[in-house]
Amino acid sequence: MMPLVFADTGESCIIKRVGGNPETKKRLKKLGFSAGAEVSVITQNAGNLIVCVNESRVAVSEEMARHIFV
């Protein structure tokens, strides 16, 4: 298990756990990041990630991506 920021571009992963404080977890869940969901990194730019989750493209900061474990 590793944070999403360490996943390779184009790699498809399954989310194992979403960490952080309750506000962070709630925000990530609203964006579609929940345990069991499939996520793939489309691109990384200056630490920020654009990912595909639940067939939607979402931009997340490096800080938020460190709370998503795959």
pLDDT at 44: 92
In 1-70, where do the E strands start and end?
Answer: 12-14, 17-18, 38-45, 48-53, 56-60, 68-69
Residue 26 belongs to domain with CATH number? 2.30.30.90
Beta carbons of 25 and 34 less than 8 angstroms apart = no
Domain count, the chain: 1
Residue span of the structural domain in which 55 resides = 4-69
pTM over cut 0.75: yes
Record the tokens describing residue 49, joined without a space. 């990630």
Rg (CA), the chain: 10
State the chain's mean pLDDT as an integer.
Answer: 93
Give residue-wise pLDDT tens across range 3-36.
999 999 998 999 999 999 999 999 999 999 999 9
